[in-house]
Structure 1
């Protein structure tokens, strides 16, 4: 009788269902984009899975196998991955909104800059500078078109990076033009 109990306890089954559930949840988080939009959290999730798998391997090597702690770790990984998937979806929605707002902001800045160009002084150096500024504005618009294509194809992070650069350039141009116009108007008085 004692030998039968030892045989049953030493042959505890590997928690394959929990392993599969954890792997599926991690895959779901990756498909959602956690590895791109929440890189650190996704890495922590993979680290937690590695710890759980190390615990599993440790128990497999023992004569008396006890998977309770391993199952808890795997269930925690599954829960963590599910939460990470939800957080990733929130980050993506927020980023989409931010991109849309930035596109509008940059468009307004470019339109404002084009209006300011018509008010800018056209002296000897002024005309050359205005041609260069117009070329920069054209480049910003090209960049915005590329950003829009990237946005439509789901490349959110690179889109936001490109738009941030465009916003910075457009804002800088507007500031420069406003200062030049202000100085010109002050000097004429």
Structure 2
């Protein structure tokens, strides 16, 4: 699991989760484990997350069951209504994580098919790849991959991740989820006024 900023620099990466797990479960376990030192956003800030995560304080997810993927807007026409407009803006902003992962995977093919090293060595390889990526990005090297991924890339629709894990959403307080729903509605209303 990773957090990146709008400059495609990874600000937090956690590796070492063996097997298959729902994205929101990985996040919940990362937050619960003080050894990870997960950087929760300040109260007035939030992370943009996809629909696989709980929409709660500090985590802004898109509206469910509303067009979201950029390809849907390209092929299906202009966003209509406040929820679609919000989702389109959300997808465009969140696209930076897809681009950042695209650069890392293109630069380090070992991440696509990890060699049979020990689990500890594998986690060190992953962290090293992210560290080198950040170093290259921060020193502003003229780089073919960064140039190639400067524009939006297609987000992969993963319908399996659209269903939220109920045990994960119970980890977050209902009042925090209600607050973020109202906050998202406020943003959607303001975007609707601007773009309609």
TM over 0.5: no
State the TM-score bracket (shorter-chain normalisation). Answer: under 0.3
TM-score (norm 1): 0.23
Larger Rg, first or second structure (1 or 2): 1
The structure with the largest helix share of the pair is 1
Query: Higher relative CO (CA 8 A, sep ≥ 6), structure 1 or 2?
Result: 2
The structure with the largest strand share of the pair is 2
